[in-house]
Chain A
Amino acid sequence: MSAAAWVVSDSWTMTRRELAHWARQPVQVVVGLVFPVMMLLMFGFLVGGGRGVDGEYVEFLVPGMLVLTMAFGLESTMTAVTQDLGKGVIDRFRAMPMSSSAVLVGRSAADMLQSAVGLAVLAGVGLLLGWRWHGSAGAALTAFALLLLLRFAMLWIGIYLGMVAGRPELVQAVQILVWPVGFLSNAFASPASMPGWLGAVVEWNPMSATATAVRDLFGNPAAASSSWAFDHAGLLAVGWPLLLLAVFFPLAAGRFRGLSR
């Protein structure tokens, strides 16, 4: 086999490793899938209608929750990376003649797979609650692709932060920061209903861009606004993740190579 074929083969072995973890911990996997569903139900029924939103709140909320789930995926990636590093198994991988990028490629493939399943479950529950997409199937697929693109950017931030943190304890610190960043978006409410300065922050949050673009593609009610960010949400929904990737992919790869320093 050629070197490139070994990268694919080794990456697949590493992905299978993650899949085997899921088979070993079905409860954890189910909890991971149920948690966003509970958030959806809680915000949909307990907390109640979003401020500044026209139309059915569930139509507005489901795309927002899909975005938030992608963003919070950062935590699970980060946790998995720190656990791997802490256990010395990475040392064995690195002392083997395998393709070294397979460690990170396998991680990202497994996480993307998990996120795709998570999206499907959450969208399914959304459908049960009355959420629909009103546009074409192509538009809906584009929306899901944008969501996964955001997740992919979060994945590499997670890999980088996981390697910087190095210890599982430090993951908690990041978790505490991820939540406000997630909530400071238009996932639950329209920025129009917020104080001006806060609204501006929310408008430019990468998660808001994806949420607005996705709502548009699904034909769901928007968190209407007259800002440049709102008008160019589609561009930002692609641009933000690509920008984050351009920063964090090389950082993560460099950090991984730097393990031998």
Chain B
Amino acid sequence: MTIFVEGVHKRYGNKPALAGLDLEVPSGTVQAVLGPNGAGKTTAVRVMSTLLRPDAGTVRVAGHDARTDAAAVRSRIGLLGQHAALDEELDGRQNLEMFGRLYHLGARRAGQRADELLDRFGLADTGRKPVKQYSGGMRRRLDLAASLITDPEVLFLDEPTTGLDPRGRAEVWGAVRSLVGGGTTVLLTTQYLEEADQLADRIALVDGGRVAAEGTADELKSLVGADRIVVVLRDPDRLAEAAALLPDPVVTTDPPTLGFPVRDRMEGLALTLRALEGAGIEAADLAVRRPTLDEVFLHLTDGPDGPHGPGGPGGSGGAARAGRADRTEVSA
């Protein structure tokens, strides 16, 4: 495991920020840490990047203990914090060169590296402008470039696209994707489900300072419960007839659609096809729809009786969520 976090606690005064955080990230993968504001995402990144000492627990990054061997960790990580960690008064090149020197590249190499990175992040033309004149997206790219001066083994990105316009977001996403090809292990925090879905191999849902659920996007979606089969009929007049053949469907008329949950998607598809074919009802469209990450997110973090643990869907909370899912589907 390139990142190994176990039982980490951290409190600020009386307020717990992390309450037993566990996380394992294999080498060369992208791990998203997803959660609402105040869930402990930033604290987690600060602990993993040696900026904060945990009160308890184990944090190992790139094979070194973040508490006892912070220097070794620091020389193997890059950090993109929530706020641009740049010197606003200096220009882009001066920033990169300064950080390069502080990474002990030597004066000449630091200068070369600064030029390479400016080039790579499309900042070569603006490298001589003070950072305070940069746009948000440019600043973020320069910040990211600064995190990559030493080609780190592990890259921490704390809400890398918060506050960026769609174009800036696309720029950062592109940069992150190009890194992953190079074998860098990336841990990114985000409030955006789409971002986690787009960039990450695995997603940890964090709430109240601990991981509420962890897995691939698909695994998390299946936590909320069943896949749904959605059938659109060619002939609206046969809607009632079709509804009688299928188990407990939600019916909408425009377009003529039937939707119902299934435990096994293949079985559900086969059942639907057989039933419709037997009655001679023609389908215009047939799809299996998985719950969206939004539904997972709400289900696990926003429950009326607090967050549910992994594998704990169901009960009254689960029923309420299913109702919400139906509404989403009808409008879609």
Main secondary structure of the interface of B (DSSP, over half): loop
The smallest beta-carbon distance between A104 and chain B, in angstroms, is: 14
Known A21-B89, A88-B84, A89-B85: A261·B103 in contact at CB below 8 Å: no
Contact B52 A260 (CB under 8 A): yes
Contact A21 B90 (CB under 8 A): yes
Contact A17 B51 (CB under 8 A): no
Contact B53 A93 (CB under 8 A): no
What's the tally of chain B residues with a CB closer than 8 Å to chain A? 29
The smallest beta-carbon distance between A256 and chain B, in angstroms, is: 13
Give the tally of cross-chain contacts (CB within 8 A).
76
Known A88-B83, A88-B84, A89-B85: A95·B74 in contact at CB below 8 Å: yes
Partner of A98, one of B79, B89, B102, B130: B102
Chain B residues with Cβ below 8 Å from A17 are 87, 90, 98
B104 close to chain A: CB less than 8 A? yes
The smallest beta-carbon distance between A257 and chain B, in angstroms, is: 10
**CB-contacts of A84-127 with B (<8 A):** 87-89, 91-98, 102
**CB-contacts of B22-80 with A (<8 A):** 49-53, 71, 74-75, 77, 79
A4 close to chain B: CB less than 8 A? no
B88 close to chain A: CB less than 8 A? yes
B121 close to chain A: CB less than 8 A? no
Measured CA separation A261–B101 after assembly (Å): 27
Known A97-B74, A97-B104: A91·B52 in contact at CB below 8 Å: no
Measured CA separation A52–B86 after assembly (Å): 53
Known A97-B74, A261-B52: A89·B87 in contact at CB below 8 Å: yes
Main secondary structure of the interface of A (DSSP, over half): helix
Chain B residues with Cβ below 8 Å from A94 are 50-51
B81 close to chain A: CB less than 8 A? yes
Measured CA separation A238–B149 after assembly (Å): 45
Known A24-B130, A261-B52, A261-B53: A93·B86 in contact at CB below 8 Å: no
Interface magnitude class on chain A: 20 to 34
Measured CA separation A96–B101 after assembly (Å): 11
A136 close to chain B: CB less than 8 A? no
The smallest beta-carbon distance between A14 and chain B, in angstroms, is: 8
Task: Kindly supply a per-residue 1/0 record for chain A positions 15-56, scoring 1 wherever the CB is within 8 Å of any chain B CB and 0 otherwise.
Answer: 011001100110000000000000000000000000000000
Known A24-B90, A89-B87: A98·B103 in contact at CB below 8 Å: yes
A13 close to chain B: CB less than 8 A? yes
Contact B104 A260 (CB under 8 A): no
Contact A96 B74 (CB under 8 A): yes
| Chain B interface residues (CB < 8 Å from chain A) | 49-53, 71, 74-75, 77, 79, 81-90, 94, 98-99, 101-104, 130, 146
| Chain A interface residues (CB < 8 Å from chain B) | 1, 6, 9-10, 13, 16-17, 20-21, 24-25, 87-89, 91-98, 102, 259-261
